[in-house]
Chains A and B, each alone.
Chain A
Amino acid sequence: MIQLVWLVPVLPLAGFLINGLFRNSLSKGMTSIVGCGVLLASFILSLLIFGEVRQENFQAVTVTLFDFISVDKLHIPFAFQVDQLSILFLLIITGVGFLIHLYSTAYMHEEEAPHFARYFAYLNLFVFSMLLLVLGANFVILFIGWEGVGLCSYLLIGYWFKNIDYGNAAKKAFIMNRIGDLGFLIAIFWMINQFGSVNFSEVFTAAPGTSTAVLTGITLLLFVGATGKSAQIPLYTWLPDAMAGPTPVSALIHAATMVTAGIYMIARSNILYSLAPLTQNVVAIIGLATALLAATIALKQNDIKKVLAYSTVSQLGYMFLGLGVGAYTGAVFHVMTHAFFKALLFLGAGSVIHAMGGEQDIRKMGGLKKYIRTTHWTFLIGCIAIAGIPPFSGFFSKDEILAGAFAKSPVYYVVGVFTALLTAFYMFRLYATTFLGNFRGTHDQEHHLHESPSAMTIPLIVLALLAAVAGFLGVPEAFAKNSHWLGHFLEPIFARGAVEHAAEGGVSQEWMLMGISVVVALIGVIAAWTRFSKKPDLAEPSGFGKVLANKWYVDELYNAIIVRPLYAISKFLNNVIEKWVIDWLVNGVGRLVQYGSRQLRLLQSGQVGGYVLLMVIGILALFLVELFVKK
Chain B
Amino acid sequence: MPINYYIFLSLALFCIGVAGVLTRRNAIIIFMCVELMLNAVNLLLVAFSKMHLHALGTGNPQAGIDGQLFVFFIMVVAAAEVSVGLAIIVMMYRNTHSIDVNFLNRLKH
A and B touch in the complex (CB under 8 A): yes
Interface residues of chain A, those whose CB is within 8 Å of chain B, are: 604-609, 612-613, 616
Please determine whether B108 and A605 come into contact, CB atoms closer than 8 angstroms. Answer: yes
Of the residues B22, B107, B108, contact of A609 by C-beta under 8 Å: B22
Which residues of B sit under 8 angstroms from A612, Cβ to Cβ?
A: 21-22
Please determine whether A608 and B18 come into contact, CB atoms closer than 8 angstroms. Answer: no
B4 within 8 A of A: no
Please determine whether B102 and A607 come into contact, CB atoms closer than 8 angstroms. Answer: yes
Interface of chain B, main secondary structure = helix
Of the residues B22, B106, B107, contact of A613 by C-beta under 8 Å: B22
B83 within 8 A of A: no
Please determine whether B108 and A606 come into contact, CB atoms closer than 8 angstroms. Answer: yes
Interface residues of chain B, those whose CB is within 8 Å of chain A, are: 18, 21-23, 25, 101-102, 104-109
Which residues of A sit under 8 angstroms from B101, Cβ to Cβ?
A: 608-609
Please determine whether B107 and A606 come into contact, CB atoms closer than 8 angstroms. Answer: yes
Of the residues B18, B105, B109, contact of A607 by C-beta under 8 Å: B105
Q: Which of chain B's residues has its CB closest to A613's CB?
A: B22
Closest 9 CB pairs of A and B: A606-B108, A606-B105, A613-B22, A616-B18, A606-B107, A612-B21, A612-B22, A609-B22, A608-B101
Which residues of B sit under 8 angstroms from A606, Cβ to Cβ?
A: 105-109
Q: Which of chain B's residues has its CB closest to A605's CB?
A: B108
Please determine whether B102 and A609 come into contact, CB atoms closer than 8 angstroms. Answer: yes
- CA–CA, A608 and B21, complex, Å: 10
Which residues of B sit under 8 angstroms from A605, Cβ to Cβ?
A: 105, 108
- CA–CA, A608 and B101, complex, Å: 8
- CA–CA, A609 and B21, complex, Å: 7
Shortest Cβ distance from residue B30 to the other chain A in the assembled complex, whole angstroms = 9
Shortest Cβ distance from residue B104 to the other chain A in the assembled complex, whole angstroms = 8
Please determine whether A616 and B22 come into contact, CB atoms closer than 8 angstroms. Answer: yes
Which residues of B sit under 8 angstroms from A608, Cβ to Cβ?
A: 101, 104
Which residues of A sit under 8 angstroms from B21, Cβ to Cβ?
A: 609, 612
What are 13 residue pairs bridging A and B, where the CB atoms are less than 8 Å apart in the complex? A604-B108, A605-B105, A606-B108, A607-B105, A607-B108, A608-B101, A609-B21, A609-B25, A612-B21, A612-B22, A613-B22, A616-B18, A616-B22
Which residues of A sit under 8 angstroms from B25, Cβ to Cβ?
A: 609
Which residues of B sit under 8 angstroms from A607, Cβ to Cβ?
A: 102, 105, 108
Which residues of B sit under 8 angstroms from A604, Cβ to Cβ?
A: 108
Which residues of B sit under 8 angstroms from A613, Cβ to Cβ?
A: 22
- CA–CA, A612 and B25, complex, Å: 13
Q: What 15 new A-B contacts, CB under 8 Å, besides A606-B105, A612-B22?
A: A604-B108, A606-B107, A606-B108, A606-B109, A607-B102, A607-B105, A607-B108, A608-B101, A608-B104, A609-B22, A609-B23, A609-B25, A609-B101, A612-B21, A613-B22
- CA–CA, A606 and B101, complex, Å: 11
Q: Which of chain B's residues has its CB closest to A608's CB?
A: B101
Shortest Cβ distance from residue B98 to the other chain A in the assembled complex, whole angstroms = 15
Which residues of A sit under 8 angstroms from B105, Cβ to Cβ?
A: 605-607
